[in-house]
Every structure is written in C-alpha cells, then in structure tokens.
Amino acid sequence: MRRTFLIATFSDGDRLVKAVETVRSYNFSVYDVYSPYPVHGLDEAMGLRRTRLPWITLLVGAFGTTLALTFQFYTSVLDWPLNVGGKPDNSTLAWVPICFELTVLLGGLSIFFALLVRARLYPGKKEQLAAEGVTNDTFALVLRKKDSAFDMKYARELLEQSGADEVKVREAEL
C-alpha cells in the first residue's frame, strides 16, 4: 500500500538526532529514521522502548537446557543404561557440557530468527529505501501523513530549519 511520507535527508548523524528531538517536541510522531549505521542517542530521541527480544533467548535457552538434561537422562538412565568406565548411569555432571551447548545453540538461533520475524526481514525481500544512499552516507528522517490534520507545511519548515539537506514529499511503501 502506498502512503504519503515527508522525507528529510541529512548528511550528519548529530544533526539528525537534533532534528528528531525538535520534531518530536512539536508533537509530530516520527515514522522512522534510516541511517547507514546505528546512530547513538536515537533510541532516546525517538523514545523507543527497549526491545524484548532477549526474553526469547532466555526462554528458548532454558528450554534447551531442560531438553538436553531430560534427553540425556532418558537415553542413559531409562532407555538403555550402559556401564561405561564404571561411571554411574545418572552422571549428571558429565551432562553439563551438552546442556550448556544446547542452551547456547537454541538461545542464539531463536533470537536470530525472532529478529528476522520482528523486523520483517527475509531473503529476497525487495528493499524499500527512504532515500538514495541511506545504506551509504545519507540519513533520512521520515514523517507520515496520516490524515488531513497533518500540517505538511509546518513540518517541512521545521525539518528545513533543523538542517535537512533536502525535504520532499513522496508516495512510497516503507
């Protein structure tokens, strides 16, 4: 679906952060910001909440530990106990390494895939660039015209005053 956006481009990260702060202080909501590297201070400026993705690692990791522990217990104690080197069937200590590895493996993979799902990234997705060069040296601040109450002229003025190199209105899918 194509929507209308007001896109301001910058050539400097610090000016971008200032612009975001300004725009938000005038009660515009920032649709998104596009940058060639993660600009520090933007999280606060945009008022982003801390992502909850790490919780997935914790949960899936804990699941991995449990899985490894129960599986080793099942195979070595319940299903087919076998005396190897006089070690007890239930050698919990010897299972620690595999429990650890499975925790890390599942925890790591889960957050990777959770990120892809949450950020809607997938192989072959057609990129939607807010401006040319946002993956190189350009920073873009994007406001969305939600309804007629959006004061396009005022927003444009604000952005131009905060040092944008170019401000333009674009119909796009972002």
Sign of CA dihedral 115, 117, 118, 122: positive
> Under rule CB under 8 A, how many of the chain's residues touch other proteins?
74
Residues in region 64-123 near other proteins by CB under 8 A? 71-72, 75-76, 79-80, 82, 84-87, 91, 93-98, 100-102, 104-105, 107-109, 111-112, 115-116, 118-123
One residue of 1, 25, 27, 125 binding other proteins per CB under 8 A: 125
State the Cα–Cα distance between residues 62 and 84, nearest whole angstrom: 29
State the Cα–Cα distance between residues 171 and 134, nearest whole angstrom: 17
Q: What is the DSSP letter of 10?
A: E
3-state SS, residue 171: strand
Residues in region 139-168 near other proteins by CB under 8 A? none
Nearest distance in Å: CB 94, other proteins? 4
Per-residue binding string, other proteins, 14-53, x by CB under 8 A, is: ------------------xxxxxxxxxxxxx-x-x-xx-x
| Type of residue numbered 85 | G
State the Cα–Cα distance between residues 66 and 114, nearest whole angstrom: 21
One residue of 3, 26, 47, 137 binding other proteins per CB under 8 A: 137
Question: Rule CB under 8 A: is residue 172 a binding residue for other proteins?
Answer: no
